[in-house]
Structure 1
């Protein structure tokens, strides 16, 4: 499933390509035809992301809400030589002159009112990529929860936009046991992780890939081959199970946590033990 930086890049791309322009909206697949007709011929005001939710704004406080889910793709083509006929199951097509965008396979594609859009935002935690984000809102939920921090970081009602890659990597970078209960963290530990996510995810928006290793652990610095993975980017633990940790050499471990694969180094991220039990 795409992480938050992907949705913010997509929002920027849609705004740059169609913002302020009259668009033709259609649903070649047919499933979104009625709603597409309501915004067809309207000015696309802009697009924004909140976590893994994308909102494309039209006049009259109407928003096309998209959640890509596991398989969705929203391909934007600016200034194409020709706008081709739709291929495959295109849920939504936007066209303005020689530019077009096709949405396929999304979990959600629906036309919402402002109140409905705001309700989705209200159910979401703060997004590290938004300037209006308040990390104290997430902290208030974390400090009250006995759930493992590795699960809380993936809970979109706690923190919006963080997926499996950023979860694994920020925990490693802060030497945090992923099974440590949220209510045992100190606020300084949380703020350090939040600030790190802001920097890492903004870099992801800029480059389109997730790179989390520090300068001293890059392939060039360590004299190791670059990572070969369809997700791209240089990482410490994500999808590196059984491989040596870049820092200590211990084999990276994996396990399932709340239905998702977790990756961590048991040496660098030592098991948390409450002082009360010591």
Structure 2
């Protein structure tokens, strides 16, 4: 399932390519025809992400809410304009190590393809006529000969301007909401440090967790507690904090929860900047490039069951928690 960094990156592409422009909506699959008709022909006025959900506002006061879920993905096609905040970066694209520095490098040299062929540095690669898949990972599919391209697969909704299209497939949620309904959905979601990294948001997270007897490994996946954390970030955050995933929320100290929130803000910012869930700090140049090429080298414990812990050598444990796979070190996180 796409985690918070992916949804923020997708939303930034809508802000860059669709906001302020009149958009034609259709439902090639047919399942969203009525909803598409409510929004088609209107100007997109806002694009927001909160955790794993995104909200697109139109000038008739209605919003399109999308939750990608396990299988959802957006395909952007056409003369895509790369997000300015990402395009302006170079070198390590925002990977802040414990020394608090970024490496300066030739932007062309910063392009790193991972083992799946995904371009983590310039995944949108615009402006040129191309097609890009954006979900949990991002990948340039091909160059376009004609525009707009024919819909591929079961496209729930297509958004189309004169230069760019965006096709949505396989979402958990795709619906039209009025402002009151949008507020109701957003009010149910926990704080998202990409939107609000204030002391008040941090305190809200700490207070919520400290009230609950629920295991912290479940609380971090609860989007009403904190927005955007999925299975990868859960495992990595808890390892980095040396917190046992079975510890009740109310048993954790205020200091440890504040540190957990700040680390989530740190890792989320890296994910938004690079498009990758990079969770290892202070890597040298060669190790960093290796990690960006191979997902197995980007994480401390995720998908490393049975392998020795990178810190203590104890075999990483795999079990199920909340119907999802949980990875942790039984020694470092005792």
Q: Give the TM-score normalised by the residue count of structure 1.
A: 0.90
Question: Runs of 5+ in structure 1 lacking a partner?
Answer: 271-278
Q: Given the superposition, is the C-alpha separation of residues 141 and 240 from structure 1 closer, same or farther in structure 2, using an over 3 Å criterion?
A: same
Match of 2:148 in 1: 83
Match of 1:212 in 2: 279
**Cα distance in 1 between the residues matched to 2:62 and 2:296:** 36
**Cα distance in 2 between the residues matched to 1:154 and 1:237:** 17
Q: CA deviation at 1:244?
A: 1.3
Contact kept, 8 Å, 1:14 with 1:76, in 2: the verdict is no
Number of residue pairs aligned between Structure 1 and Structure 2: 267
Contact kept, 8 Å, 2:47 with 2:54, in 1: the verdict is yes
**Cα distance in 2 between the residues matched to 1:117 and 1:136:** 24
CA offsets, 1:48-81, max 9 Å, x none?
Answer: 1111111011013211000101000112224135
Structure 2 residue matching 1:215: 3-state secondary structure: coil
Question: Runs of 5+ in structure 2 lacking a partner?
Answer: 80-128, 130-143
Q: Given the superposition, is the C-alpha separation of residues 20 and 232 from structure 1 closer, same or farther in structure 2, using an over 3 Å criterion?
A: farther
* 2:237 pairs with 1:237: no
**Cα distance in 2 between the residues matched to 1:180 and 1:135:** 20
**Cα distance in 2 between the residues matched to 1:96 and 1:216:** 42
Q: CA deviation at 1:187?
A: 1.1
Q: CA deviation at 1:141?
A: 1.7
Match of 2:325 in 1: 261
Contact kept, 8 Å, 2:205 with 2:261, in 1: the verdict is no
Q: Given the superposition, is the C-alpha separation of residues 132 and 210 from structure 1 closer, same or farther in structure 2, using an over 3 Å criterion?
A: closer
**Cα distance in 1 between the residues matched to 2:296 and 2:268:** 14
**Cα distance in 1 between the residues matched to 2:292 and 2:303:** 11
* 2:165 pairs with 1:115: no
CA offsets, 1:95-151, max 9 Å, x none?
Answer: 111210000000110000011111111111111221366122222221111111111
**Cα distance in 1 between the residues matched to 2:286 and 2:248:** 34
Q: Which has the higher contact order (CA 8 A, sep 6+)?
A: 2
Q: Give the TM-score normalised by the residue count of structure 2.
A: 0.76
**Cα distance in 2 between the residues matched to 1:140 and 1:228:** 39
Residue 101 of structure 1, aligned match among 166, 170, 191:
166
Match of 2:310 in 1: 246
**Cα distance in 2 between the residues matched to 1:34 and 1:67:** 18
Structure 1 residue runs of 4 or more that deviate by more than 2 Å after TM superposition: 216-221, 225-229
